[in-house]
Amino acid sequence: IMPVCELIKKINLKLRGHYQYYGVTDNTRSVKSYQNTVKYLLFKWLNRRSQKRSYTLESFYNGLLKTFPLLEPTISVSLFYI
């Protein structure tokens, strides 16, 4: 089992690449939706690590994601300014 801090580091690397590739001005809603999906799947899979639930929604958002935050989406390329 991978420690949570290492898992979040790897997820942040993947998120950074996704944001840099898809982070253009008209795509912010889709990129934010992608981040929300990643948070949902992380919550789901961390709770599957044992037979007992590891996190509630409150402890996941207010505890784990405050301690190890996921990267926020940023706009890498502006399509309107040349």
Q: What pLDDT, in 10s, does the model give residues 12-58? A: 999 999 999 998 888 889 999 999 999 999 999 999 988 888 899 99
Q: Say whether pLDDT at 82 is over 70.
A: no
Mean pLDDT, to the nearest integer, of 4-15? Answer: 96
10 vs 52 pLDDT, higher one: 10
Q: Say whether pLDDT at 76 is over 70.
A: yes
Task: Indicate the pTM of the whole model.
Answer: 0.87
Predicted pLDDT of residue 62? 96
What secondary structure does DSSP assign to 40-81, as a single string?
HHHHHHHTTSSSS----HHHIIIIIHHHSPPPPP---B-SS-
